[in-house]
Chains A and B, each alone.
Chain A
Amino acid sequence: MTDSYTRLVNTGITKTLAKRLGLPRPAVLRRYAPGQPLTVGPVLVLSDAASKADADRVAQALLAWDLDVRRDPVEVRADPGRLGAAVLVLTELATPQDASEAVLATGSVLRKLAPQGRVVTVSRARTAEDSPELAAARQGVDAFCRSLAKELRAGATGNGVVLTDGAAADSTSALGALRFFLSARSAYVDGQLLEVGPTDAPLPTTWDRPLEGQVAAVTGAARGIGAAIARTLARDGATVVCVDVPAAGEGLARTANAVRGTALQLDVTAPDAGARLLEHARARHGRLDVVVHNAGITRDKLLANMDAARWDSVVAVNVASQLRINAQLLEAAERGEVSGLRVVSLASTSGLAGNRGQTNYSFTKAGVVGHTAATGPLLAAHGGTANAVAPGFIETDMTRAIPFATREVARRLSSLLQGGQPVDVAEAIAFLASPAAAGVNGQTLRVCGQNMVGR
């Protein structure tokens, strides 16, 4: 399902030609398949001097995952083999001056990084109590990581785990996120820093079917990203309730039958949508553990030409429905009908950066980012989390409607030089729904190949 340009510049004579002409050559991304090695090669763990103890703990955890862990950049440079990943632990970095040795060591191995390799920083979030030096150092990691990601090639990505509220470097939260970034599950996540907080949840001991025994509901599951989410959650062990409007029932039945789940023809804007979804999940499958708010629509118009129908329908589907359903789920949590509920909502990079012609859409998608931050703590009171995923340009029916030239530009405007696949968004959602993400709450994770658009 790679786009035709990417196929062209990666095969045969056109590959040679593209190389000669110096055309951008997007890599065919390595995507997750159960049982595949976690990384494409050994993992080098580096740190600044103050973070050495944390780096040791992280290295221990990586060893427990049967990774080939290296600690010496000189040795890595001498090794004829390629490096699978570099993990840069900067948790105790105190001043900007202290980063030098560690970042230069990282730089010294970048040429050894294999295609599809990974660079992951582990650092701490800046807080209001930080001294100016500390704040400068911590904030510095943010843009360092993003810049480094932009220098990587051949499907390699750079991302960061950002610890909040004293979460330990070897906590479930930190290691869960680190593992996601190291794995092929994060193929199209690039240049992102994910905040993770403390959690009591233990680190999973098996990783192949993290959602085994759980029941997940996915809205907008008839096609596109929603169908991919249903397939991915089912692959990870969940029983999936597939929801879409009655008019999309044909595709919905196809998805439900493919994932051996059930089809629920339901408009998410119905006043009792949350209650009906919950009723279906509990009556048919005994429980509800994960809800993915994926249903969404676009009704693009310049604001000067916007009418009430366009504005109101986008608000109704993209954000108001999520708020109403979440409220009903929270009531159910109060009644003890659900616990530990994981909610993941679809935002969009348009909701972060804004997009011409999409005032309505970006208003709602930013609304998703906002309500997710507010809903997280409410669900946490019942052992759950709320997070969002902001896809960039994803190859679906929605984006196939974009004119060719605009579409071509949108694809290449990212560090990975291509659009993402629906499964890339689905993998991020599956991660946020999994036990390993227990410490991630209220966050919005971009899945955009580090699109140049937005913050």
Chain B
Amino acid sequence: MATRSTAAATASRKAPKGTTAAPGLRDAVVVGGNRIPFSRAGKRYADASNQEMFTAALEGLVARFGLQGERLGEVVGGAVLKHSRDFNLVRECVLGSSLSPQTPAYDLQQACATGLEAAIAVANKIRLGQVESGVAGGTDTVSDAPIAVSEGLRRALLAASHAKTLQQRLKALARIRPGDLKPLTPATDEPRTGLSMGEHQAVTTARWGITREAQDEVALASHQNLARAWESGFFDDLVTPFRGLTRDDNLRPDTSAEKLAALKPVFGKSLATSGTPAEPTMTAGNSTPLTDGASAVLLASRDWAAEHDLPVLARFVDAETAAVDFVHGHEGLLMAPVHAVPRLLARNGLTLEDFDFFEIHEAFAATVLTTLAAWEDDEYCRTELGLPGALGKVDRSRVNVNGSSLAAGHPFAATGGRILATAAKLVAQRAAETGRPARALVSVCAAGGLGATAILESA
């Protein structure tokens, strides 16, 4: 998509009192959301499948909004770690839910941006008038992840199944070596670099000179903010318990700067040998843990929401995705949102100051910090983003005010739905308090150098 002008050029323009919808398109609004509490891998949901978890997220949503027997426009979602038998995962979940079996569905996957990309897809169809309502979401389980067989075993088994005679079959199977029998656990390492996401981020972290203390501060704030949000009942209409778990079990309300400071770094092994040698700073405390969970967000046209006597929390204003060349080390793996946001702001005539809330997915504490640092960097914004100068400074008190992935956990495809529902409720509450429109910027980085971003505005 071509940008109309640079961000800096539009920055000087006074932001309108609530951005206007794109001409010819109607509004897509967020009605509400539902997720199950997120649980650290191998704990409460150890034997729960993606299908069970996403069905539970849907059932809670249906109950909250009285959608039993309702034929929705579509349900879109996915899982990053997915069994091949789950080829129609979301449709199967719909069939197992209280929604009308006439509700279409499809699976979609964009690594950690799956949930947000699903919402973009649903919102766009609503804006175009192709559907009146839809659910966007995602689910992931590391506990029940598919285990693949080794390449040697797989080829041998395939050859055996294609064999016509017993002899041929035995010959095919004889090719199997003991080493082939070791199962392959799913890897989230980048296929092109062989580096884990953490190692990639460690390089970016060092490049931007992000300190250990700053990262621990982000992690501490995440836990404190999420704990406060739970205590205040913020999630009472956003979460439905599952399998007896009533709150995110990664949350450590009692964590402290001291406890976080005591943890040993787990990422950054490659730093010593890299061009810019640096001390590793990323620990288990300031990196998100592997997590199981599912989330769903209900989007609709204004008419549909009104006809169904349903509340409207926020308007899904616009979205932008980006990708970066991380393979050749030119840009950090998780920096794509940094590129997407200026384009998104420019198209909507907004600046960073026009936002009341920033929901920046905490893949790592350092991801948030490098994102903010990049936008503040004059030189970087000029050379890398093609802007006339720094994009701007984000007011830190507006970032992840009710916690984010460091505290809640991060079941890859479920994170987008968690963030969207939280952001939509935040802007709705703020607008109700102040009587003025409130806006949130959502940013989710993803494997593969991908990123998805979106703007929500109180409806």
Contact = CB atoms under 8 A, between A and B. Distances in A.
Contacts of A253: 59-60, 62-64, 240
Interface stretch (B175-183, B231-239, B260-268, B364-372): B231-239
Given A242-B63, A254-B63, A283-B309, 9 more contacts: A246-B236, A246-B246, A249-B240, A250-B240, A253-B64, A257-B59, A263-B64, A263-B240, A266-B236
B311 interface: yes
Contact of A250 (B68, B69, B235, B242): B242
A253 B98 CA distance: 11
Contacts of A248: 241
Nearest to A260: B68
A261 interface: yes
- Give the most central of A242, A250, A270, A283: most B CB within 10 Å: A250
A257 B68 contact: yes
Contact of A285 (B68, B69, B239, B309): B309
A286 interface: yes
Interface of A: 242, 246-250, 252-254, 256-257, 260-263, 265-266, 270, 283-286
B240 to A, nearest CB: 4
Nearest to A239: B66
Interface string B54-89: 001001101111101100000000000000000000
B310 interface: yes
A257 B241 contact: no
Given A249-B60, A249-B241, A250-B242, A262 B236 contact: no
A262 B66 CA distance: 5
A262 B63 CA distance: 5
A394 B209 CA distance: 66
A242 B60 CA distance: 12
Given A247-B246, A257-B59, A265 B240 contact: yes
A263 B63 contact: yes
Contact of B65 (A249, A250, A262, A265): A262
A284 B310 contact: yes
Interface residues of B, number: 25
A284 B241 contact: no
Contacts of A285: 309
Contacts of B59: 253-254, 257
A285 B236 CA distance: 20
Nearest to A253: B63
Nearest to A252: B63
22 contacts: A246-B233, A246-B246, A248-B241, A249-B60, A250-B56, A250-B60, A250-B241, A250-B242, A250-B243, A253-B64, A253-B240, A254-B59, A257-B68, A260-B66, A263-B60, A263-B63, A263-B240, A265-B236, A265-B240, A283-B309, A283-B311, A284-B66
Interface string B238-260: 01111110100000000000000
Contacts of B311: 283
B33 to A, nearest CB: 13
B61 to A, nearest CB: 9
B309 A246 contact: no
Nearest to B36: A250
* Contact residues of A: prevailing secondary structure: helix
A261 B240 contact: no
Contacts of A247: 241, 246
Contacts of A270: 233
A261 B69 CA distance: 11
Nearest to A263: B63
Contacts of B241: 246-250
Interface in B204-236: 233, 235-236
Interface string B95-108: 00010000000000
Contacts of A266: 236
Given A246-B233, A284-B309, A286-B309, A257 B239 contact: no
A175 to B, nearest CB: 35
Return the 5 tightest CB-CB contacts between A and B, nearest first: A253-B63, A263-B63, A256-B63, A249-B240, A262-B66
A437 to B, nearest CB: 27
A270 B309 CA distance: 25
- Give the most central of A260, A265, A266, A283: most B CB within 10 Å: A265
Contacts of B63: 242, 252-254, 256-257, 262-263
A233 to B, nearest CB: 15
- Give the most central of B56, B62, B235: most A CB within 10 Å: B62
Contacts of A261: 66
Nearest to B66: A262
Contacts of A257: 59, 62-63, 68, 98
Nearest to B246: A247
A254 B159 CA distance: 48
Contacts of B98: 257
A247 to B, nearest CB: 4
Contacts of A283: 309, 311
A257 B99 CA distance: 9
A250 B235 CA distance: 14
Contacts of A284: 66, 309-310
B242 A260 contact: no
B64 A246 contact: no
B442 to A, nearest CB: 25
B34 to A, nearest CB: 9
Interface string B292-310: 0000000000000000011
A286 B306 CA distance: 12
A265 B246 CA distance: 12
Contacts of B240: 249-250, 252-253, 263, 265
- Give the most central of A242, A246, A285, A286: most B CB within 10 Å: A246
A261 to B, nearest CB: 7
A79 B237 CA distance: 62
B64 A262 contact: yes
A265 B68 contact: no
Contacts of B64: 253, 262-263
A283 B98 CA distance: 22
Interface in B151-198: none
Given A246-B246, A250-B242, A283-B311, A265 B66 contact: no
- Give the most central of A242, A262, A266, A283: most B CB within 10 Å: A262
A48 to B, nearest CB: 53
B237 A265 contact: yes
Contacts of B62: 253, 257
